[in-house]
Amino acid sequence: MAARQDRVAGRYELVEPIGPGGMGQVWRGYDAVLDREVAVKLIRTDVISSAEEADEFARRFRREARITARIQHHGVPQVYDAALDESYDRVYLVMEYVRGTSLRAYVDPVRPLSVGWAAAVAAQICTVLSHAHAIPVVHRDLKPDNVLVTDAGTVKVLDFGVAAILRTDVTRLTATGQALGTHRYMSPEQVQGAQVVPQSDLYALGCVLHEMLVGRPLFDGATEFTLMRQHVYDEPIPLRALRPDVPEAVERLVLDLTAKRPEQRPDDAYEVYERLLPFLPLPGAAPPATHRPGTGVPDPTLLYRRPNAPRPRTDPPPGSAAAPAVDSQPPDAVAGTALRHAISDAVAYSNDLLADERYAHAAEALHEMVEQAGAVLGAEHRRVLALRQRRAAILVIGGDFRTALPEFDALASAFARTQGPTGDATMACLRQAAHCRAGLGQATTALRQFRQVLAHVRAAEGDVSTTALELRRDIGMLLLSERDTEAAKAEFVPLHEDLCVVYGPDHEETREIAAVLVRLRTIGDR
């Protein structure tokens, strides 16, 4: 379960670690003010050993955070905040949280990437570097681990400016004799501690492109010192000697990118992008058919094959639950006191978050508890179903109809099996599903479901119960939004009459329907 955490800078709650790194720990967190996920990067402060170094670190931290925040490009996670306390024990960068697959997962010596896939990744990196270098900001630590590919195929370059904060572009030895930095992708000038320039990033890009196409690094020295020497003095093996099907122009590009002297490399990232253009798929083209990674790995060519495409219909919403399989309900005793207390704590925590109108975080707190309780009690145990129903309702309150809809559909099916097709919980979930569909523009199905629930309510409670009146209003409003004014009027006229009897003509709901009827009649008169 997402637990309460101390807040960073009074507003950022650390939920769970999402990965270590040479620069420090990265956490998935929540912005308590805006109720959105964020990535919170704890910057290592072990480079500080004196007051003078602390002051210098603070200056670098603020400068680099501000400069990095100026890179306005979709391929760079946006910097939201920088937190630095007086003791320098807690130094954080708060950034956009990105879900994606590390480029490291694409590197495979058995199944190297197709030229199209590799070119698509490299070209997207070039667009990012062109924006950064114009500021100018040099990344200094470009490598597969600092590149993510989202489900939509968009490449995100991580950790801009962090290397500069820690000065890892300057080769130094620690007390154990180990060099600092990522030497497999480090340009000769970085290895030698010389001036870092935009062409230093292009050298690293050449190393990454080589590795994508053959599945092995440009140089593979057994020790850090050997590797450093290879980057400074040795010539790389040409790509076509390792993989003959690589086009000569791509081989030439990699050799130019990895030239020893910065001035021998391409002038800028834009030139590299132009040299990659012939190898990018055209809009509407089929995906490259050879050397593709396994299923589930995002396709970086999508950005070029289907530019500005709509959100795929087949993508399951993040965090949505599939329809559960029918399984028997273990007795409550299986849960034990600890699980009951955990469920109570999760509900209480979500209530606190709801009080602050932090709907996304409140829903996540219950989602994690649903997974834990479901593993013990079963997906259709009454407590698990209640937690799922509460979570889905919170999603609706927060306006996340797309995520809530499949959960309410699954819940309606589950309750139909456990309580009957006309049970109260079944009907409640069916009604919520209709509400979600109405919000998503699925009017025909929403109307059918609203009417199905209304028929049940009328049979059980009559036509003027609170629930029946609400459903009749929902149906009328949905018809109105679909511009079926005659059908809407046929719903609203008897509804207004019943509201006058039940609540009186001056009640807020009665006046609302009266105003709707006036507008409908006015439109009809025209």
CATH 1.25.40.10 in the chain: give the residue spans.
Answer: 335-525
Tell me the C-alpha distance between 385 and 370, whole Å. 8
Question: Tokens at residue 286, please?
Answer: 């089929």
189 pLDDT higher than 80: yes
61 pLDDT higher than 80: no
Q: What is the pLDDT of residues 121-147, one digit of tens each?
A: 999 999 999 999 988 888 989 999 999
CATH 1.10.510.10 in the chain: give the residue spans.
Answer: 101-305
Which residue is it, tokens 């630590």?
141
Q: Buried (b) or exposed (e) across 480-514, using 16+ Cβ within 10 A?
A: bebebbebbbebbeebbebbeeeeeeeeeebeebe
The highest-level CATH class for domain 335-525 is: mainly alpha
Is the CB of residue 41 less than 8 Å from the CB of residue 93? yes
Average pLDDT over residues 36-41: 90
Average pLDDT over residues 212-232: 93
175 pLDDT higher than 90: no
The yes/no answer on whether domain 101-305 falls in CATH 3.90.930.12 is no
Q: According to the model, what pLDDT value does residue 88 have? A: 58
Which of 261, 379, 386 has the alpha carbon at shortest distance from 324? 379
| % of the chain surpassing 90 pLDDT | 46
Tell me the C-alpha distance between 294 and 106, whole Å. 9
The chain-wide mean pLDDT, for the chain, equals 84
Distances in Å between the Cα of 508 and the Cα atoms of 297, 426, 454, 464, 480 are 54, 30, 22, 16, 20
Instruction: Quickly state the pLDDT bin for 316 (edges 50, 70, 90).
Output: very low
Residue 76 per-residue DSSP state: S
Is the CB of residue 238 less than 8 Å from the CB of residue 255? yes
318 pLDDT higher than 80: no
Please say whether the dihedral angle defined by the alpha carbons of residues 219, 221, 227 and 229, taken in this order, is positive or negative: negative
Neighbours of 518 (CB within 10 A): 10
24 pLDDT higher than 90: no
165 pLDDT higher than 70: no
Instruction: Quickly state the pLDDT bin for 161 (edges 50, 70, 90).
Output: low
466 pLDDT higher than 50: yes
241 pLDDT higher than 50: yes
Q: According to the model, what pLDDT value does residue 136 have? A: 81
Q: According to the model, what pLDDT value does residue 365 have? A: 86
Tell me the C-alpha distance between 435 and 421, whole Å. 19
| 331 CB-contact burial (10 Å; exposed 0-12 / middle 13-18 / buried 19+) | exposed
Average pLDDT over residues 263-271: 95
Is the CB of residue 495 less than 8 Å from the CB of residue 513? yes
Question: Tokens at residue 229, please?
Answer: 């020497």
Which residues sit opposite 81 in a β-bridge? 94
Type of residue numbered 147: V
**Which of the residue ranges 16-20, 205-209, 247-251 would you say has the lowest mean pLDDT?**
16-20
Query: Any idea of the CA torsion for 263, 264, 268, 270, to the nearest 10 degrees?
Result: 160
Q: What is the pLDDT of residues 385-417, one digit of tens each?
A: 999 999 999 998 888 888 999 999 999 999 998
At how many degrees (to 10) do helices 466-481 and 485-502 cross? 150
Instruction: Quickly state the pLDDT bin for 176 (edges 50, 70, 90).
Output: very low
CATH 3.30.200.20 in the chain: give the residue spans.
Answer: 7-96
Average pLDDT over residues 429-439: 92
Run of H or E including 13: strand 12-19
Tell me the C-alpha distance between 487 and 475, whole Å. 10
Average pLDDT over residues 174-199: 72
Does residue 136 have a cis peptide bond before it, meaning omega lies within 30 degrees of 0?
Answer: yes
Distance of CA 102 to the CA centre of its chain: 13
Instruction: Quickly state the pLDDT bin for 325 (edges 50, 70, 90).
Output: very low
Residues annotated as part of the active site: 141
Looking at domain 7-96, its CATH architecture is 2-Layer Sandwich (3.30)
Instruction: Quickly state the pLDDT bin for 491 (edges 50, 70, 90).
Output: very high
Instruction: Quickly state the pLDDT bin for 288 (edges 50, 70, 90).
Output: confident
Q: Whole-prediction pTM value? A: 0.67
133: left (phi over 0), alpha (psi -120 to 50) or beta: alpha
Q: According to the model, what pLDDT value does residue 44 have? A: 64
Q: According to the model, what pLDDT value does residue 341 have? A: 84
Neighbours of 338 (CB within 10 A): 9
